[in-house]
Amino acid sequence: IFFNTLEIDNSYLINAKWNLGKTGKLAAYGFWLNFDDGDSANDTKTFGLRYTAAYGGETKFLLTAELAQQSDYSDYTKAANDDDFSATYANLELGIKNGGFTGKIGYELLGSDNGDEAVTFPLATGHKFNGWVDIFLTTPDTGLEDSYLMLAGTFNDLTMKLFYHDYTSDEGSIDYGSEVNFVLVKPVSERLSLTAKAGFYDADELGADTDRFWLQADYAF
């Protein structure tokens, strides 16, 4: 996402999933990441569990619960915390789905270790999860608590999604700000679709007010 190249050395990824039938699905994972080229601040190991379920018939009630622990690994170094750290990740999401409508409310914690270091995702993008304005592509050292609401609906052939995020810190009681995201997707033909997308970040104690807009055409072949 930053148009740079990072070399990964002696890293391991494990992801095991179990289908629990009507009671849902359970996943257990472990990531041991070791980066070269001076990127030792991202040398971390992460262990976690993720549970997802959908209950009901025509109207479904959705549940996601996830808990993980991240700590230093391999050549990790960051002077602020004496070359070691440990922080918690958690996510709880409740939702409802009926026909073309889906609504979700959730809370995601990217924990901090005493304000010196926080949970990070060097192989992922925060754009999908923590706001499209990209204020949190890198987790602040004081961590991130993201309380969010999502509404989505399909009307005829028009798909709409609306997100609201309220951002605070895990350490220090900092009110970072809030964000609204909105997207419209309209198919033009079997292969062509058009997307209009916008993000509005309202800063409080982090960054500045920022608005971003996208117009996109997708052609599948």
Convert the chain into a string of H (helix), E (strand) and C (coil). CCCCCCCECCCEEEEEEEECHHHCEEEEEEEECCECCCCHHHCEEEEEEEEEEEEECCEEEEEEEEEEEEEECCCCCCHHHCCCCEEEEEEEEEEEEECCEEEEEEEEEECECCCCCECCCCCCCCCCCCCCCCCCCCCCCCCEEEEEEEEEEEECCEEEEEEEEEEECCCCCCEEEEEEEEEEEEECCCCEEEEEEEEEEEECCCCCCEEEEEEEEEECC
Per-residue pLDDT in tens (0 to 9) along the chain, 221 residues: 555 667 778 889 999 999 999 889 999 999 999 887 666 778 899 999 999 999 998 999 999 999 999 998 887 776 555 668 899 999 999 999 998 899 999 999 999 999 988 999 888 888 999 999 999 998 999 999 999 999 999 988 999 999 999 999 999 999 999 999 999 999 999 999 999 999 999 999 999 999 999 999 999 99
pLDDT value, residue 79: 54
pLDDT at 93: 98
Cα separation, 85 vs 81, in Å, equals: 7
The predicted model scores a pTM of 0.91
